[in-house]
Amino acid sequence: VSASDLKLEDSGQKSPSVDSSDGMMKKTEGQIITDTVQEVSVNEQSEHGEAKNISKNPVKELSETKERVLQNPKASLSDRSATSVHLKKKGKAVPSTSPVSSRYLESLKMLEDKCMQKKSPEFNKMENLRAAVFQNWLEKKKLLQLELKRSEKEKAEILRSNTEKQEALKREESLACYEAWKKKKEKEAKKLNEKKKLEELEENKPAEQNKEKAEAAQAVILYMMISCSSLSLCRNKKKEEYIKKKKVQKFLEKRKREMQQAKAEEKSEKALEEYEKWLENKVRREQLEKTQKKMQAVHGNEESPPWRPPGKVTYSGNY
């Protein structure tokens, strides 16, 4: 215990790399102690009948191994193997990887607490001293970590401000370059526009001359068209009058044809009516003749009626 206390005191004055090595050492010590506790509990579980007789020996051995581990962590591996062999000789062989019951762990913890209470007050003083040294080391470590964090934060802030300044300078430079390029392009555009205007004027001169010639030719053509249009108007008027006369003549001829057609239709209708009347008279006359012949055949002694023309119909008084 005293050796570990001295190590903790030295670690409070060393660099953060020593703190990390002490942390690794503590991890190995804790792992060794837990493995030893598991082996003892497994052996007690396998030999529950003999646990009452040999319960004092494992507790003593466990406390001794703890002290040896704290004093010399490297030599604790050989002691651990010897302790496990000694315990395995007393009981049956049980694999160390088997699950450990929480009930036996609690009983083992209670026994260990009783043994710790029975120890001397010097041991308690050493433990208190060790706890005070560890607390002091922990506070120093926290302060160191806070200092490191603060320094890292300051460095990050400085780096951020520097990057912002550099970016601002780059932006200003890029804006200045853009403005210079823009002015240069504007000057070049003005020169190009002036040059294009001159070229257009030179190109438009012959075009304007041709345009004037074309306008003069169009004026001559219009004059000729106007002079000709007066003649054409007279001709058109005469033509329209002739067309109107022809239309009137066609209309009169059509009307005449329609009247003649109507008269012919009336004549044909009258002829049909007369024919129908004649046909009816003929049928009646034939019927009368037939009836007269029948009557003569019935009345053979009677005198035959006098002859009458076919156009007239007379009725005898025999009916």
Tens digits of per-residue pLDDT, 45-104?
A: 544 444 344 444 444 555 565 555 455 544 444 444 444 444 444 444 444 444 455 776
Residue 261, in any domain of the structure: no
Residue type, 290: K
Residue 40, in any domain of the structure: yes
pLDDT-derived band of residue 167, with 50, 70 and 90 as boundaries? very high
Residue 217, in any domain of the structure: no
Q: 133 or 62, which is more confident?
A: 133
What mean pLDDT is reported for the chain? 71
pLDDT at position 115 is: 67
Q: 310 or 270, which is more confident?
A: 270
User: Over the stretch 90-126, which tens digit does the pLDDT of each residue have?
Assistant: 444 444 444 455 776 767 767 676 666 556 677 677 7
CA distance 79 to 64: 10
User: Over the stretch 225-268, which tens digit does the pLDDT of each residue have?
Assistant: 776 776 777 777 888 888 888 888 888 888 888 888 988 898 88
Residue 286, in any domain of the structure: no
pLDDT-derived band of residue 283, with 50, 70 and 90 as boundaries? very high
Question: What is the per-residue burial (b if ≥16 Cβ within 10 Å, else e) of 176-206?
Answer: eeeeeeeeeeeeeeeeeeeeeeeeeeeeeee
pLDDT at position 82 is: 46
Q: Are 46 and 91 in contact (CB under 8 A)?
A: yes
pLDDT-derived band of residue 203, with 50, 70 and 90 as boundaries? confident
Residue 46, in any domain of the structure: yes
Residue 100, in any domain of the structure: yes
Burial of 58 (0-12, 13-18, 19+ CB in 10 A): buried
pLDDT at position 39 is: 52
Q: Please report which helix (H) or strand (E) contains residue 118, including its range.
A: none
The domain tally of the chain equals: 1
pLDDT for residue 162 is more than 90: yes
Residue 105, in any domain of the structure: yes
Encoded tokens for 243: 């067309």
Range of the domain at 59: 2-119
Residue 162, in any domain of the structure: no
pTM above 0.85, yes or no: no
